Amino acid sequence: MNERIMVVKASLLEELGSFQGLMFDIEKYLNRINLDYFYVDRQEAETNFSYKQIIPYVLLNYRDKFLCYLRGELTNEGRLKGNYSLGIGGHVNDKDENLFESSIDAAKKRELSEEISIKTKYTDHTIALINDDSNPVGRVHLGIISVLKLNEKKVLKKEKSINKINFISIEEMKTNIDKYESWSKIIIKDIGKISDYL
């Protein structure tokens, strides 16, 4: 059976205010996403530019460092294979619907639990949206960025597609920015603003 994933119409961004990169004024967007989302077959969504797939995208922060990892051969998103990434995340599917929390929050927890194991307490901050219409992957995705501020640097990988997991400084990110996938590049360029929200 085909996976059905959460989307909104791409025209919603035009209606509310199109942007390229990060958007920190997020309330009006999140309110409309929660009202207007629907589910379509993933195969259709991946090539249909009239949809934006909603992707919870989670950064992990410990003091002045952020978690990064290399996307390996087994990643579900082949177009991102071989790039470094700062974000853990994935699609919201119709199985994430439940009575107790939003589908987006449920999907975020599911993706985190599938890909990594967090062995410390943390606080969760939803701080921005990310949009990148400069490439085919970005044109069909809209990210909701959360930052988990960790009490301790205790994170283990679970998913085989996650390799070379490490916490690195902002300076290290900027030095090696060309090795990162596009969303991470956008975040690195604006990482100071993200840090201001923590």
The radius of gyration computed from the CA coordinates of the chain, to the nearest angstrom, equals 16
- Separation in Å, CA 151 to CA 11, 68, 118, 182: 40, 17, 11, 28
Q: Which CATH architecture has domain 4-196?
A: Alpha-Beta Complex (3.90)
- pLDDT of the chain, 198 residues: tens digit per residue: 589 999 999 999 999 999 999 999 999 999 999 999 999 999 999 999 999 999 999 999 999 999 999 987 544 554 555 799 999 999 999 999 887 789 999 999 999 999 999 999 999 999 999 999 999 989 999 999 999 999 999 999 998 889 999 999 999 999 999 999 999 999 999 998 998 887
Would you call 87 helix, strand, or coil by DSSP? coil
- Domain segments of the chain: what residues? 4-196
Q: Are 46 and 140 in contact (CB under 8 A)?
A: yes
